[in-house]
């Protein structure tokens, strides 16, 4: 019997009365259990309920982001926004019983100790009195997404959205690039009062939520909620400082080399995305060309990736092209009941089309390999570990980049590796900014924008936004969806990039061995915390004092050795 495609996956809104009845039955069985085996049977039923609910919610989320104006799926999205806090309340009672169970030792042998750590932390960041705040938080994030998805940017007689305007930002005509970037930022200016109000409400709401649960600030609350159990904000602060001290000077050299390649005295904001005077490397075909090349790549990479990508194709588990009213950005989700992931992207005829596909395919491959874990908490690891899978996949697929870029392959490799270094300061700027925001929840929108400008001066000192009023004002951060809808989800990319660069370096010596280590962490899923996953994958912790310096030095030296003309002319 053939498995359903995404379009054929049945959707039925959860019956809350029935779900409550079933969770209540689980609670009764847990309380009445006379043995660990009795409780294990009840937990397995509870996990099945959670898998089923998560599947329905994930289907609804994908359908909504495919067209945020569709009233049917907008209503479904609102249903989950409004009702899931109540479901969390029901599940919290199950968690309380389990963490206090007299059979906990046997249950930990069955499910692992991390399962219980996750439940204990879940109980710390949830209480019925914050349910209304959670609903309002989701609604505010949705409002931001609807604003950005509705963008219609007019330029030279053409209409673009926030995804497709990106291809103009890499055109060779500098004046047209400037007009495109100015029009993109003017969109922020036209909506600045709404976006400022949305974010101001979110910051205060999140702060209120954390304080009601006894946390001194939202920062501490979010570290617990995000599952960061084996490192602290102080570790992250030291990592950021290391980036300032060591990586920022390297990137300054890359930016000076970029200006020289482009024949400019300096790189302006509207020049940043163009790396080469004859144009950035772009895949030699459209979406179908890219998917065909990726099919060959994943069939040759390994038997495991062949099975995975063939499944993605056969079951139509990707939506890759940009459209009006489609949410911006890219993501990967999964449907636990069906054991498959889903990739969402916005191709726009830039280098990023290939990067986003390999990136999200890394997430999807991990989800596919982890599909048989028996508890929802283990289907995905915490975010910084998830990003090792995505960024690691980007580098492990290097040997096949000629299938996408042909004669531009060397340009792509320079672009991609240099981009990995250039990203690190930006990733730290976003994280540092958010730490400041939630340490100063009463700051005004103007003060937040000024703080973003301070972050640019510290982490991106080469940035010159002259002539783009909204950027000069400090609004660039408002394009970063993570800041609005998933706070503190960004340092994860910088930590993971440090790990992914290690897989890049390993693959230069022995790609098969590097892939075997990578496969191991995909199979682990979320059954280990971040630093244990790093160790299991044969990697050095990004928090080790010499790790970042060493790997970024190696990357810069490799660029210098292989592409000296790009660095020195």
Beta bridge partners of 403: none
pLDDT digits (tens, 9 = 90+) for 1-25: 579 999 999 999 999 999 999 999 9
Assigned token pair, 327:
């949410």
CA distance 514 to 7: 36
Domain assignments of the chain as residue spans, ordered by start: 6-124
CA neighbours closer than 13 Å in the CB half-sphere of residue 58: 23
Number of Cβ within 10 Å of residue 302's Cβ equals: 17
Assigned token pair, 207:
């702060």
Q: List per-residue pLDDT tens for the chain, 569 residues long.
A: 579 999 999 999 999 999 999 999 999 999 999 999 999 999 999 999 999 999 999 999 999 999 999 999 999 999 999 999 999 999 999 999 999 999 999 999 999 999 999 999 999 999 999 999 999 999 999 999 999 998 999 999 999 998 899 899 999 999 999 999 999 999 999 999 999 999 999 999 999 999 999 999 999 999 999 999 999 999 999 999 999 999 999 999 999 999 999 999 999 999 999 999 999 999 999 999 999 999 999 999 999 999 999 999 999 999 999 999 999 889 999 999 999 999 999 999 999 999 999 999 999 999 999 999 999 999 999 999 999 999 999 999 999 999 999 999 999 999 999 999 999 999 999 999 999 999 999 999 999 999 999 999 999 999 999 999 999 999 999 999 999 999 999 999 999 999 999 999 999 999 999 999 999 999 999 999 999 999 999 999 999 989 999 999 999 999 999 999 999 97
CA distance 507 to 504: 5
pTM of the full predicted structure? 0.95
- Specify whether the CB–CB gap between 224 and 121 falls below 8 A: yes
Which residue is it, tokens 């960004």? Answer: 490
CA angle 349, 390, 419 (to 5 degrees): 55
List, in sequence order, the alpha helices (H) in 191-286.
192-212, 218-225, 233-242, 248-262
- The enclosing H or E element of 410 equals helix 409-439
CA distance 137 to 151: 22
CA distance 519 to 353: 24
Backbone φ and ψ for 114, nearest 5 degrees, come out as -65, -30
Q: Can you give the C-alpha Rg of the chain in angstroms? A: 24
Closest CA to 169 of 436, 30, 348, 431: 348
DSSP secondary structure string for all residues of 69-110: T-HHHHHHHHHHHHHHHHHHHHHHHHHHHHHT-TTHHHHHHH
- Strands (DSSP E) contained in 32-71 are none
- List, in order, residues 6 or more apart from 222 with CB less than 8 Å away: 206, 210, 438, 487, 488
**What pLDDT is recorded for position 31?**
97
**Long-range Cβ contact pairs of 28-33 (< 8 A, separation 24 or more):** 30/94, 30/97, 30/98, 30/101, 31/97, 33/103
Beta bridge partners of 331: 344
Closest CA to 343 of 355, 356, 328: 356
State how far Cα 372 lies from the chain centre. Answer: 23
Q: Using N-to-C axis directions, what is the helix angle for 303-314 and 352-369, rounded to 10°?
A: 100
CA distance 344 to 328: 10
H/E/C letters for each residue in 126-141? CCHHHHHHHHHHHHHH
Helix, strand, coil shares of the chain, percent, nearest 5, are: 70, 5, 25
Closest CA to 348 of 266, 424, 419, 286: 286
């Amino acid at each position: 019997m053939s498995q359903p495609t995404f379009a054929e996956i049945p959707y039925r809104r959860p019956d809350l009365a029935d779900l409550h009845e079933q969770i209540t039955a689980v609670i009764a069985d847990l309380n009445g259990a006379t043995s660990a085996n009795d409780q294990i049977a009840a937990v397995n039923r509870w996990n099945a309920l959670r898998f089923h609910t998560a599947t329905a919610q994930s289907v609804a989320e994908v359908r909504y982001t495919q067209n945020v104006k569709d009233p049917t799926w907008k209503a479904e999205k609102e249903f989950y926004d409004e009702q899931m806090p109540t479901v969390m309340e029901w599940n919290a009672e199950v968690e309380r019983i389990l963490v206090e169970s007299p059979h906990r030792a046997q249950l930990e042998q069955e499910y692992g100790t991390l399962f219980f750590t996750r439940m204990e932390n879940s109980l710390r960041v949830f209480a019925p009195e914050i349910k209304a705040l959670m609903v309002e938080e989701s609604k505010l994030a949705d409002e931001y997404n609807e604003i950005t998805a509705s963008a219609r940017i007019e330029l030279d007689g053409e209409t673009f959205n926030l995804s497709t305007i990106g291809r103009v930002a890499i055109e060779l005509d500098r004046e047209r690039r400037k007009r495109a970037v100015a029009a993109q930022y003017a969109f922020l200016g036209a909506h600045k009062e709404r976006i400022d109000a949305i974010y101001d409400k979110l910051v205060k709401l999140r702060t209120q939520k954390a304080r009601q649960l006894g946390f001194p600030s939202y920062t501490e609350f979010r570290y617990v909620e995000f599952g960061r159990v084996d490192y602290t904000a102080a570790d992250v602060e030291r990592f950021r400082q290391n980036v300032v001290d060591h990586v920022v000077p390297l990137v300054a050299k890359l930016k000076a080399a970029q200006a020289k390649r482009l024949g400019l005295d300096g790189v302006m904001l509207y020049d940043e995305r163009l790396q080469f005077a004859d144009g950035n490397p772009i895949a030699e075909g459209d979406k179908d060309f890219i998917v065909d090349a990726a099919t060959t790549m994943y069939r040759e990479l390994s038997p495991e990736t062949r099975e995975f990508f063939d499944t993605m194709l056969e079951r139509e588990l990707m939506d890759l092209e940009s459209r009006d009213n489609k949410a911006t950005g890219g993501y990967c989700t999964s449907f636990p009941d069906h054991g498959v992931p889903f990739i969402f992207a916005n191709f726009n005829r830039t280098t990023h089309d290939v990067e986003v596909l390999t990136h999200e395919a890394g997430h999807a491959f991990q989800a596919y390999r982890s599909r048989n874990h028996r508890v929802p908490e283990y289907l995905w690891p915490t975010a910084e570990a998830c990003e090792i899978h995505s960024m690691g996949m980007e580098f492990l697929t290097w040997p096949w980049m000629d299938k996408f870029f042909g004669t531009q392959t060397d340009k792509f490799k320079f672009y991609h590796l240099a981009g990995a270094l250039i990203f690190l300061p930006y990733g730290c700027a976003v994280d540092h900014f958010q730490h400041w925001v939630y340490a100063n929840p009463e700051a005004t929108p103007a003060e937040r924008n000024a703080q973003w400008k301070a972050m640019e001066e510290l982490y991106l000192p080469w940035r010159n936004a002259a002539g783009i009023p909204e950027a000069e004002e400090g609004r660039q951060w408002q394009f970063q969806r993570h800041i609005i809808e998933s706070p503190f989800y960004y340092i994860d990319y910088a930590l993971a990039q440090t790990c992914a660069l290690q897989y890049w370096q390993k693959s230069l010596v022995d790609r098969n061995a590097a892939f075997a280590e990578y496969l191991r962490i995909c199979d682990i899923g979320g059954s280990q915390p971040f630093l244990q996953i790093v160790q299991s994958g044969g990697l050095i912790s990004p928090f080790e004092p010499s790790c970042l310096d060493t790997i970024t030095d190696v990357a810069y030296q490799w660029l210098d050795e292989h592409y000296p003309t790009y660095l020195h002319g």
